[in-house]
Amino acid sequence: MKVTKLILRNVFRNKMRSALTVLLMAAIFFFVATLLSILENFTMFSDAGKGQNRLAVQSAISLANVLPIAHEAKIRQIPGIVDACEMQWFGAYYKEPKNFFANFAVDHRHMKTVFDDYHMSDAEFQAFANDRQGAIVGPELMKRFGWKVGDRITLKSTIFPMNPELNIRAVYEHPVDTSSLMFHMDYFQQAMGNQGWVGMFWVKVKDAKNMNAVGKQIDDMFRNSTDPTETFTEKEFQLNFLSMMGDIKLLFHSISLCAIFMVIMLAAITMSMSARERVTEIAVLKAIGFSRRLVLMLMLIEFTTLTFIGGIAGVIAGKLVYRVVNMTKITQGFLVNFTLFPNSIVICIAASVAVGIVAGGWPAMRSAKMSVVDGLRRVV
């Protein structure tokens, strides 16, 4: 009990320095936890269609190139395919450019089969299907813009020469994607003059084991045509989409490691100052019977307690901040349902303990090895 009291008293003996150290640790681990959670959010996004047996068929030239709608009939002839659905990225915003979100034109006749993880009542879907200008909207968008079912909205396109006027007919439920809007492919094609082109196809495969084989068959079918295809599983497609922004995973991990290295250096300076101030005190402890091992343990526990408190404060601050701050809105749907995830929290707390051990190790060992005579002879 006396040892615990001694540790707590020494942790906060210099209140100003201890408070600043905790604030520094909290700020850096808040930053690191945020970066790691963004990466986890990307992983969650890429796993959104896991188990749905979907393939994405796009142009082999680039995602920006279109494919002839005639490809769809040929794709359906391949054994093992349940259904196929046309999709076109529309790239519009609501009222102002800052109100950007994911929006697509889809073939409503095949959407329910291919995208069966997007749930809504049969009545809602039928209302959408029966309205050529109908739209299906995610719950986050409904909340963000104050929309309700039955509202009429206008999107402003950044790509196509049309601004669709849409009627909100249904709100879908999905475990990950909560901020997308989908409207009729027929409406899009009619407005564009029925040119016979589409951005991509999504294909539902009966057996997940055959997905790679089916994807290869699709690409082989059009390999020598004027419009070759490239087919991906849904996870591969999402990862490729994210990779267009560069190697974010490597970048974020590098930044996190640099931040932790920086906090180790700053913590080491602080802890060295603390150890130097306590030379005489440590000599007295050793003189009254404290062993080297006990002195080393006490100082490491003190230093680690300080960094641990900082780590805990950082992740708690992150949880509170992201409860209040709507990152989906701020990032325009790029980060959906963002929070600090458990894995990121555990990593940061473990890292805060490691920082205390690494940064405080050298000052603690020097103090433990110091002789009683040398310690009592020095005046700090």
**Going residue by residue through the chain (380 aa), what tens digit of pLDDT does each one get?**
466 666 666 666 777 877 888 888 899 889 888 888 887 877 766 565 555 689 999 999 887 889 999 999 999 999 999 999 999 999 899 999 888 888 999 999 999 999 988 999 999 999 999 999 999 999 989 999 999 999 999 999 999 999 999 999 999 998 888 889 999 999 999 999 888 899 999 999 998 889 899 999 999 999 989 999 999 888 778 766 665 555 666 777 777 788 878 777 777 777 666 666 665 566 666 566 666 676 667 777 777 888 898 899 999 999 999 888 878 777 766 676 788 889 989 999 998 888 888 877 767 666 666 665 555 555 44
Q: What is the dihedral of CA 133, 81, 53, 126, to 10 degrees?
A: 30
Q: Give the residue from 341, 308, 319, 350 showing the smallest Cα distance to 25.
A: 308
d(CA 155, CA 226): 33
d(CA 301, CA 304): 5
Q: At what angle do helices 292-324 and 15-46 cross, to 10 degrees?
A: 60
User: Mind listing the pLDDT tens digit for each residue in 118-140?
Assistant: 999 999 999 999 999 999 999 98
What per-residue confidence (pLDDT) applies to 1?
44
What tokens does 50 get?
Answer: 């896991």
What tokens does 100 get?
Answer: 């950007």
What per-residue confidence (pLDDT) applies to 215?
93
Handedness of CA 292, 295, 299, 301 (dihedral sign): positive
What per-residue confidence (pLDDT) applies to 258?
82
Strand residues in 10-158 grouped as ranges (E): 54-59, 67-68, 81-89, 92-94, 102-106, 134-137, 152-157
d(CA 131, CA 149): 13
Burial class for 351, CB neighbours closer than 10 Å (0-12, 13-18, 19+): buried
Cα distances (angstroms) measured from residue 316 to each of 30, 141, 260, 311, 320: 8, 28, 18, 9, 6
Q: DSSP states of 349-368 as a string? A: HHHHHHHHHHHHHHHHHHHH
CB count in 10 Å sphere of residue 350 = 12
